[in-house]
Amino acid sequence: MSGFKLISTTGDQTIDLPEGRAIVVGRAVTSDLPIYDPTVSRRHAEVTLANGSVSVKDLGSSNGTYINGTQISQSTAGDGDIVTFGKVAFKVHQVTPAAARPAAKPAAEASGFGVRPPEATIVRQVPLEAAAGGIEGKVSGRPSGGTQLKVPGESVEERQSKKLSLLLDISKELSKQQEVDKLLQKIVDITFQVMSVDRVSILMVEEPSGEL
């Protein structure tokens, strides 16, 4: 069964549309598809994939939602259509199921930590220099405020403000990743940069069984 994704016309954002669940598009950090543009409302629109059809619903946004240049309150979009939120445009792209990827070599065996659990991905440590540059200015060389986060600040209020700003930068960086492997690597890079840790592991959970 084929699926759909939204890809920004600038190529810096993409999101796979899950079957049967509405994703929220908006300027809020908590949005499923966050768009940091002043023409986009905090809760701008909902996009739902159901039975092979992409439904787009405006949520009372200030600057409107459009499909191929026509303003809509609720409508459907197909492969190749351009959906615009405010002044930010995304293209609807239909994808076919990818072929099964070959099993990855057990990274843990080579590192001497034993055999990894089935379907678990152990990601290697990387130097801080490899992490996202936009986040670099908001972290220090050591944890502060009684946590593992390396966020500097003279007061609790200052650290809290910097943490929120850091969260926004992290959200921007992660939303740029179009492939699962690159997304996982980016998560590892950012974790090493903002937290005082020696090792990062990412475990993949099989749905709906919940097994690793």
For residue 4, the model assigns a pLDDT of 93
pTM above 0.75, yes or no: no
Domains, the chain, ordered by start:
3-95 (2.60.200.20), 107-203 (no CATH)
Size (the chain), residues: 212
What's the pLDDT score for residue 150? 61
pLDDT of residue 130: 42
Note whether 159 and 145 are within 8 A (CB).
yes
Q: Please, what are the averages of pLDDT over each run of 10 residues along the chain (212 residues)?
A: 85 89 92 91 95 94 96 95 95 76 51 48 46 53 52 66 73 72 76 71 69 64
Q: Kind and range of the H or E element at 111?
A: helix 107-111
Instruction: Evaluate the CA torsion angle 19, 21, 25, 27 in order and state its sign.
Output: negative
Q: What is the pLDDT of residue 24?
A: 94
What per-residue confidence (pLDDT) applies to 176? 73
Residue 147 DSSP one-character state: S
Q: Which long-range contacts (CB under 8 A, 24 or more apart) does 127-132 make?
A: 127/192, 128/192, 128/193, 130/189, 131/189, 131/190, 131/192, 131/193, 132/169, 132/173, 132/186, 132/189, 132/190, 132/193
Block residue for tokens 């991905």: 121
pLDDT the model gives residue 181: 73
